[in-house]
Amino acid sequence: MSAVLTRLAPLGGAGAAGRSAPTSILPLRLEGLGFAVGGKPLLDGVDLVLEAGGRTVVLGPNGAGKSIFLRLCHGLLRPTTGQVLWAGNGANARDRRHALLFQRPVMLRRSALANILHGLALAGHGWHERRQRARAVLARFGIAELAERPARTLSGGEQQVLALARAAALEPEVLFLDEPTAALDPAATARIELLLQLIARDGVKLVMVTHDLGQARRFADDVVFLHRGRLVEHRPAAAFFSNPRSPEARAFVAGELIW
């Protein structure tokens, strides 16, 4: 893959210069958010406000409810209690300016370019704008040479870069990430982290689940710590890692097994 660009300018599109900026969907407010299966709560009573900008990392042991938390925020799951409140008109299904990147991206049986075109078509962009945006985002993410390659034949790292490019082509205001580097080698992980840093500098709010404490220390501006489906702490990253308030968080940061 070609070298990563040092900055990621907004993609825009045909007529973008003449458009007024949409109303922000942030802050995101979670009020008494809960999700249960068969009467068993997997996430319970989460009250949280996520402001615009910055990089939020969601931490916690296995079974803490981290992935469910992301899916509830993104709308893939409906809460059984409480609510997810976007500012402005962000809750409208026709104006959902947030995207979710999975640990193992789902690639369609078509070229890398066509994967991006498909997402843009679903978002309602016209043919000429789809082509312009797709080509631009492939170049911005350093994978223009992969445009005509079947997406499913790409390496794991290339597929994750493509999935990130596919999400970025939609110009989300918020990008949710569920362990996006867990299956990658160190070189691919470093590439994804660099791209995410550049995306964050462009003003996109990032909310990422990770099990990697080293990555969390490198990446986080603030930390959401979940344990047994409950929000235990939400603090600036420096304060969380230097002096966790709860015994559960202290044990987790120390590398102890908690459940």
Nearest-5° Cα angle at 190, 143 to 70: 90
The helix/strand/coil state of 159 is helix
CA distances to 101, 132, 140, 156 from 147, rounded to whole Å, are 20, 13, 12, 16
* Under-50 pLDDT residues of the chain: 2-6, 8-9, 13-18, 93-94
Pick the closest to residue 164 from 138, 144, 184 (CA basis): 138
The helix/strand/coil state of 67 is helix
Query: What CATH number does domain 25-106+172-253 carry, 3.40.50.720, 1.20.120.450, 3.30.70.1350, 3.40.50.300?
Result: 3.40.50.300
Taking the C-alpha atoms of residue 146 and residue 15, their distance in angstroms, rounded to an integer, is 28
Taking the C-alpha atoms of residue 42 and residue 35, their distance in angstroms, rounded to an integer, is 6
Instruction: Give residue 11's pLDDT.
Output: 56
What is the separation of C-alpha 153 from the centre of its chain, rounded to a whole number of angstroms? 24
Tokens of 194: 């660099």
User: Could you tell me which residues come within 8 angstroms of residue 172 by beta carbon, excluding any fewer than 6 positions away?
Assistant: 97, 98, 99, 204
Instruction: Give residue 256's pLDDT.
Output: 83
Pick the closest to residue 73 from 55, 52, 99 (CA basis): 99
Taking the C-alpha atoms of residue 233 and residue 249, their distance in angstroms, rounded to an integer, is 8
Tokens of 83: 């609510």
Instruction: Give residue 94's pLDDT.
Output: 44
Instruction: Give residue 228's pLDDT.
Output: 96
Instruction: Give residue 17's pLDDT.
Output: 44
Task: Decide the pairing of beta strands 55-59 and 81-86.
Answer: unpaired
Q: Where are the domains of the chain?
A: 25-106+172-253
Tokens of 222: 């603030």
Span 150-179, pLDDT tens digits: 999 999 999 999 999 999 999 999 999 999
Instruction: Give residue 136's pLDDT.
Output: 96
Instruction: Give residue 23's pLDDT.
Output: 85
Task: Decide the pairing of beta strands 81-86 and 28-37.
Answer: antiparallel
Q: How many CB atoms lie within 10 A of CB 257?
A: 7
